Amino acid sequence: MAIRDLRDWIERVDELGELTRIAGADPDVDVGGLTDLYQWDMGNPALLFDGMPGYRPGHRILSNVLTSLPRLALTLNLDVAHSKRAFVDALRNQLATLRPIPATVVDDGPVMANRQSGDAVDLTRFPAPRWHPRDGGQFLGTGDIVVMRDPDGGWVNAGTYRVQVQGPRTVTIYISAGKQGQLIQEKYWKRGEACPVVVCVGMDPLLLLQGGYEVEAGVSEFDTAGGIRGESVPVIHGPLTGLPFPASAELALEGEMPPGETLPEGPFGEWAGYYASGQRPAPVMHVKNVFFRDDPIILGCLPGKPPNDNTFFRSPMRGAVLWNDLERSGIPGITGAWSHEAGGGRLFNVISIRQMYPGHAKQVGMAAASARAGAYANRWVVVVDEDIDPTDSNEVIWALCTRTDVVRDIDVMRRAWSSILDPMAYQGDGPGWFNDRLIIDACRPYDRRATFPAVARVTAEEATDLRHRWPILFGPDGKALSEARSANRGS
């Protein structure tokens, strides 16, 4: 049965044995620290905090959300794959054939159980952690979606952007230059109008997965989520803004961002692993209405030194979307893609190809460095042959070490799209931030393919033969001792 909201998700994850409940943790110190410790490794359970000092029992925080393959598969309505490589393949097939299902507008839902309006709005009642020790405040929104309507096209964007509590009725929203949310907000401001906005904190994590990656402009994340779920997402239209938010959301803030109004925001521990952007002005949202379920659950998704909750899911998502972007631009021969966890799921992208013509690898590298899913804040693009598993760091480094001519195969792209969050980005003459990036062809040289030395390892066929002839070592079906791994490595 489809997961319809965060409570369904928690129940299903509990059934999988992947949920730990914690009572009495302090949101100012413990919640962020414990989440950080848990999210260093893939496979640790999700954490559900309750009974936090200073907050009502029942007001909860869920964190370490998407850090296991079974939880990712559950959220994306996919089967659990036996390897990261197979998971990317399944995901990119899902996305390539996805038919968005439009959201359904309903009048009522669990999120309307409680309402604060006007002067009665009090955001301090909700547990908003100081996620990292040197954060400049409490961030209610990390695993959120920020909903806006494009004033020209009329389509609805839902992006995941951090939201800092600045007062009982005021928050700031940090959106990097060039993201859809920033472009939309700028359109209202250029007209001298306030930008209507809804921040949704706590919903089916599928919506976080949609809000947190580059769904193309003009397409609503509610509709792509419906397509993945296999049924329409019921939404309520906010009475003030007319903007949609899930009828079964945990907590929704409705308000507006007046033109030019900012407050100091940050510092915040960011996805690249630093407090890089420090404190600077960010747009203010005045919260006019708050809607929330009984005993609301804040959905936290903690950035920080990678790997972390963001990067474990970003790695396959970016791999899948990049793969599809390259194919959609007409480039043949793509066989895999991955964005390394340690690069925050952005900085280190690897694409594997079946080389088909001279210059093919260079074309893929250049395109990947500029494609929708690869353009922002990237640093390394590595193109490898199809016998290399892009999700396996050992294999990628081996290809870099043994198939790259360091004079001929490395290009530098200068003044590319970046942000202040990248500690190596540099400011242009105006307000913009740029970075430089490397594009590396780590494929066997195209003109030496026929004579390139053979790989000193059993081939996939030889491995299959050995496995079946040696059941004492590999079991009656020949599958013991990581068949998938050795099959991936056969060449």
Ligand X SMILES: Cc1cc2nc3c(=O)[nH]c(=O)nc-3n(C[C@H](O)[C@H](O)[C@H](O)COP(=O)(O)O)c2cc1C
Sites of contact with ligand X (CB under 6 A): 142-143, 157, 159-162, 174-176, 179-181, 211-214, 301, 303, 310
The separation between CA 328 and the C-alpha centre of its own chain, rounded to angstroms, equals: 21
Residue with tokens 């908003």: 128
Which C-beta is closer to ligand X: that of 149 or that of 444?
A: 149
Backbone phi, psi, residue 107, to 5°: -85, -25
Which C-beta is closer to ligand X: that of 337 or that of 400?
A: 337
Which C-beta is closer to ligand X: that of 208 or that of 443?
A: 208
Which C-beta is closer to ligand X: that of 46 or that of 399?
A: 46
Q: Which of 292, 298, 312, 405 is nearest to 40 (CA)?
A: 312
Distance CA 30, CA 32 (A): 6
Distance CA 389, CA 319 (A): 12
To the nearest whole angstrom, how small is the minimum distance from the Cβ of residue 382 to ligand X? 22
First to last CA, the chain: 40
Distance CA 335, CA 385 (A): 9
Which C-beta is closer to ligand X: that of 35 or that of 352?
A: 35
Distance CA 332, CA 307 (A): 31
To the nearest whole angstrom, how small is the minimum distance from the Cβ of residue 413 to ligand X? 20
To the nearest whole angstrom, how small is the minimum distance from the Cβ of residue 226 to ligand X? 17
Distance CA 329, CA 487 (A): 30
Distance CA 151, CA 77 (A): 33
Check whether the bond before 258 is cis (ω within 30° of 0).
no
- Within 8 A by CB and 6+ apart from 355, the residues are 333, 361, 385, 443, 444, 446, 449
Which C-beta is closer to ligand X: that of 213 or that of 275?
A: 213
Which C-beta is closer to ligand X: that of 179 or that of 229?
A: 179
To the nearest whole angstrom, how small is the minimum distance from the Cβ of residue 430 to ligand X? 19
To the nearest whole angstrom, how small is the minimum distance from the Cβ of residue 377 to ligand X? 9
Alpha-carbon distances, residue 446 vs 440, 450, 451, 489 (angstroms)? 14, 9, 10, 21
To the nearest whole angstrom, how small is the minimum distance from the Cβ of residue 143 to ligand X? 5
Which C-beta is closer to ligand X: that of 246 or that of 303?
A: 303
To the nearest whole angstrom, how small is the minimum distance from the Cβ of residue 369 to ligand X? 17
To the nearest whole angstrom, how small is the minimum distance from the Cβ of residue 138 to ligand X? 15
Maximum CA extent, the chain:
76
DSSP H helical ranges for 262-358:
309-328
Backbone phi, psi, residue 53, to 5°: -55, 135
Sign of the dihedral through C-alpha 180, 184, 231, 18 = positive
Check whether the bond before 307 is cis (ω within 30° of 0).
yes
To the nearest whole angstrom, how small is the minimum distance from the Cβ of residue 90 to ligand X? 20
CB atoms within 10 A of CB 408: 9
To the nearest whole angstrom, how small is the minimum distance from the Cβ of residue 119 to ligand X? 28
To the nearest whole angstrom, how small is the minimum distance from the Cβ of residue 367 to ligand X? 19
Q: Which of 133, 106, 76 is nearest to 316 (CA)?
A: 76
Q: What would the two tokens of residue 417 be?
A: 């799209």
